């Protein structure tokens, strides 16, 4: 057994040099912004001083969630139209109209896509 061999293998290969290049490149560049996006506090996520992250943040629409729950109860027969207030009826009507418009837009997109595929196949 040869006791003169080093305990740690020293790598001087091509890929090792590339790996070391990128390590030093990213280690020396301290100008990269800190993207610590959020710190969880309670039930909400607070975004720290980052404009990009703030632009990606999705604001919850609590009113719409309530109307979706109300819609589900109404469709399951748990509540009737007589039990709803005028404001709730108007909100549900707006929600239904928004959903119908979205479905019509999706349908139109599918029709256009099918027409494009037909043109490509012809």
pLDDT tens-digit series, residues 36-88: 444 444 444 554 556 666 666 666 688 888 999 999 999 999 999 899 999 99
**DSSP assignment of 52-82:** HHHHHPPPP-HHHHHHHHHHHHHHTTSS-GG
pTM of the model: 0.49
> Which tokens hold the place of 58?
């999705």
Q: Are residues 65 and 108 in the same domain?
A: yes
Per-residue pLDDT reduced to its tens digit, 8-47: 555 677 778 888 777 777 775 555 444 444 444 444 455 4
Give the range of the structural domain holding residue 72, as residue numbers without chain letter: 61-121
pLDDT at 50: 60
Q: Are residues 66 and 51 in the same domain?
A: no
Q: What percent of the chain has pLDDT over 70?
A: 62
Q: Are residues 42 and 84 in the same domain?
A: no
Per-residue pLDDT reduced to its tens digit, 100-116: 999 999 999 999 999 99
Alpha-carbon gap, residue 71 to 58, rounded angstroms: 23
- Counted domains in the chain: 2
Structural domain includes residue 3: no
Q: Are residues 71 and 117 in the same domain?
A: yes
Q: Taking the CB of residue 78, how many other CB atoms lie within 10 A of it?
A: 10
- Write down how long the chain is: 122
Alpha-carbon gap, residue 74 to 93, rounded angstroms: 12
């Amino acid at each position: 057994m040869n006791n003169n061999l080093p305990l740690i293998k020293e790598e001087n290969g091509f890929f090792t040099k590339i790996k070391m290049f990128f390590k030093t490149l990213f280690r020396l560049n301290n100008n990269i912004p800190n993207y610590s996006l959020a710190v969880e506090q309670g039930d909400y996520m607070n975004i720290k001083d980052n404009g990009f992250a703030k632009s990606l943040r999705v604001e919850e629409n609590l009113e719409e969630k309530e109307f979706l729950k109300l819609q589900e109860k109404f469709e399951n027969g748990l509540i009737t139209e007589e039990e709803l207030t005028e404001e709730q009826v108007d909100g549900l009507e707006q929600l239904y109209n928004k959903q119908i418009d979205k479905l019509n837009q999706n349908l139109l997109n599918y029709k256009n896509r099918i027409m494009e595929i037909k043109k490509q196949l012809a």
